């Protein structure tokens, strides 16, 4: 039994205590197969897991040849942002709720990991975005995002006014609750709830989706992923920007938020038989036909 991957990092959400049992079971499974196991240090401390070698994110990036995110999609997003530049492939085991990108279930992970360790898997690349806030000519915040970059208002204030340029060409100005710049991965996240389109992960594009715009004519638009999108805050109290809705920064009027495709990709590994369309069917209930009673109404 030969393992294609010999040093595997486990990453989980430190705030979720119930994931500890799953982490211990996966660590034991990997060790039984002769795989060296590393556990991200914050998760190890929070979960009280001592069955694996504890390592920092920097060390995981330098030494691991595979990472497994155990939790919800947020855990996978954090792992991707931390490890993508190191070109470490990622596997997602769903211990959360929806699980668009953590596609392996808790009841199937043993079979899935066995196949992947033996070299039987589907591999795909996912685009990331870089975002930076420029204030008076100086970068005051920068972050990576796998799902989206969102400029929005505080929950306590009214709409914000923004001006958008694409490759230095004026696109539009609008008043709205916010604006989402999403990757294909993020097109099934916040952007979808704001009526944005779904982009297949292999589509080389990004989408701009306004959130509750004042003008109903402001609609989502798909753009090539090699453009530079610049969002300037013209008016609004307490605006802010977020990467993957996990990393936030406060904004000021006059700030420019510059969003571009990252110079590297993140790599997802899936067990044999993985289908993106099956994920959509399962998560969005595409397989459910409307009932006769609903049609008659």
Q: What is the pLDDT of residues 282-297, one digit of tens each?
A: 888 886 666 655 545 5
Confidence at residue 47, expressed as pLDDT on a 0 to 100 scale = 74
Does 245 lie in the same domain as 136? Answer: yes
| Full domain range(s) for residue 109 | 7-121+271-284
201 and 156 together in one domain? yes
133 and 259, same structural domain? yes
Spans of the chain below 70 pLDDT: 1, 14-17, 51, 287-297
Identify whether residues 134 and 258 lie together within a single domain.
yes
Q: Are residues 161 and 74 in the same domain?
A: no
Q: Judge if 188 and 113 occupy the same domain.
A: no
- Determine the 3-state secondary structure of 11 from DSSP: strand
Q: pLDDT (tens digit, 9 = 90+) per residue, 72-120?
A: 999 999 999 999 999 999 999 998 777 789 999 999 999 999 999 999 9
Give CA–CA dist 243/129, Å, rounded: 9
291 inside domain: no
CATH number at residue 89: 3.40.50.10330
**pLDDT at residue 163, rounded to an integer:** 97
- On whether residue 45 sits in a domain, the answer given is yes
Spatial separation of the C-alpha atoms in residues 47 and 26, rounded to whole Å: 14
Question: How far is it, in rounded angstroms, from Cα 105 to Cα 70?
Answer: 10
- Burial (CB count <10 Å: 0-12, 13-18, 19+), residue 71: buried
Helix (H) or strand (E) holding 257, with range, is: strand 256-270
The pLDDT score that the predictor gives to residue 70 is 94
Confidence at residue 44, expressed as pLDDT on a 0 to 100 scale: 82
21 is a domain residue: yes
Could you give the CA distance from residue 131 to residue 242 in angstroms, rounded to a whole number? 9
Q: Please check whether residues 46 and 166 belong to one and the same domain.
A: no
> Residues 202, 145, 60, 203: what is their CA dihedral angle, to the nearest 10 degrees?
0
Number of domains in the chain: 2
Residues annotated as catalytic (active site), given as ranges: 73
pLDDT score, position 287:
66
pLDDT of residue 17: 64
Task: Find the farthest-apart pair of alpha carbons in the chain and give their distance in angstroms, rounded.
Answer: 62
What pLDDT is recorded for position 13?
A: 77
The reply to whether 149 and 74 lie within a common domain is no
pLDDT at 291: 60
Q: Are both 258 and 276 inside the same structural domain?
A: no
Closest CA to 253 of 192, 162, 174: 162
Do 240 and 250 form a contact (C-beta atoms < 8 A)?
A: yes
């Amino acid at each position: 039994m030969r393992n294609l991957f010999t040093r595997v990092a486990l990453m989980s959400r430190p705030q979720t205590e119930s994931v500890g049992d799953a982490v211990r079971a996966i660590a034991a499974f990997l060790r039984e197969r002769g795989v060296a196991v590393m556990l991200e240090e914050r998760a190890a401390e929070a979960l009280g897991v001592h069955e694996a070698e504890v390592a920092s994110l920097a060390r995981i990036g330098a030494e691991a040849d595979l990472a497994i995110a155990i939790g919800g999609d947020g855990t996978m997003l954090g792992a991707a942002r931390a490890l993508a530049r190191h070109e470490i492939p990622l596997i997602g085991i769903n211990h959360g709720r929806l699980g668009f990108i953590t596609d392996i279930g808790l009841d199937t992970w043993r079979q899935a990991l066995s196949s992947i360790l033996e070299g039987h898997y589907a591999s795909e690349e996912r685009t990331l975005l870089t975002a930076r806030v420029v204030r008076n000519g100086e970068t005051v915040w920068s972050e990576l995002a796998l799902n989206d970059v969102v400029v929005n208002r505080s929950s306590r204030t009214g709409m914000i006014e923004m001006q958008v340029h694409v490759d230095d060409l004026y696109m539009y100005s609008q008043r709205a609750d916010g604006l989402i710049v999403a990757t294909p991965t993020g097109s099934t996240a916040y952007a979808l709830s704001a009526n944005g389109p779904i982009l297949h992960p292999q589509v080389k594009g990004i989408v701009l989706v306004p959130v509750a715009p004042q003008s109903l004519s402001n609609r989502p638009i798909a753009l090539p992923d090699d453009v530079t999108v610049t969002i300037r805050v013209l008016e609004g109290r307490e605006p802010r920007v977020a990467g993957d809705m996990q990393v936030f920064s406060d904004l000021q009027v006059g700030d420019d938020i510059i969003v571009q495709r990252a110079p590297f990709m993140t790599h997802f590994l899936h067990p044999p038989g993985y289908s993106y369309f099956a994920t959509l069917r399962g998560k969005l209930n595409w397989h459910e036909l409307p009932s006769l009673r609903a049609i008659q109404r």
